[in-house]
Amino acid sequence: MAAGQDLIFTLPKKGSQSGSSSWVLTLPENMEICFSSGSGNFEASEMTVKISGNTGSGNYPWRKVKEDSKINTGSGDISIDDAQGDIDLTGHKGY
């Protein structure tokens, strides 16, 4: 995407409160992003960025992400579709 790329952060509700927060960021290509969250998701689509991410229980739904990345999750799901580049994955079961 020439004009920018969307990056979506979604944070689940805490405790007994209802609701959630999310951000959609438009970023230029070829950036490096560092992300860490206890339980938030990191959603990326059609991006050319280097990503380093860590979540305790958040998910990584990615589609068409280009560049090398390193991501870790304690108990979240990792779903990657049509990626280009090396992706170092670590999950709660070591895969």
How does 50-60 read in b/e, with b if 16+ C-beta sit within 10 Å?
A: bbebbbebbbb
Cα distances from 70 to residues 44, 56, 67, 87, in angstroms, run: 14, 15, 10, 6
Provide mean pLDDT across the span 38-59.
88
Count structural domains, the chain.
1
Assigned domain for 82 exists: no
d(CA 67, CA 88): 11
Residue 48 is assigned to a structural domain of this protein: yes
pLDDT digits 0-9 by tens, 56-85: 888 999 999 999 999 998 888 889 999 999
Rg (CA), the chain: 13
Range of the domain at 41: 1-12+31-77
The answer to the question of residue 91 being in a domain is no
**Any domain includes 69:** yes
Please tell me whether the overall predicted TM-score, pTM, comes out greater than 0.85 for this model. no
Residue 7 lies in a domain: yes
Residue 59 lies in a domain: yes
Alpha carbon of 80 to those of 19, 50, 66: distances in Å?
Answer: 27, 15, 11
- At 13, is the secondary structure helix, strand, or coil? coil
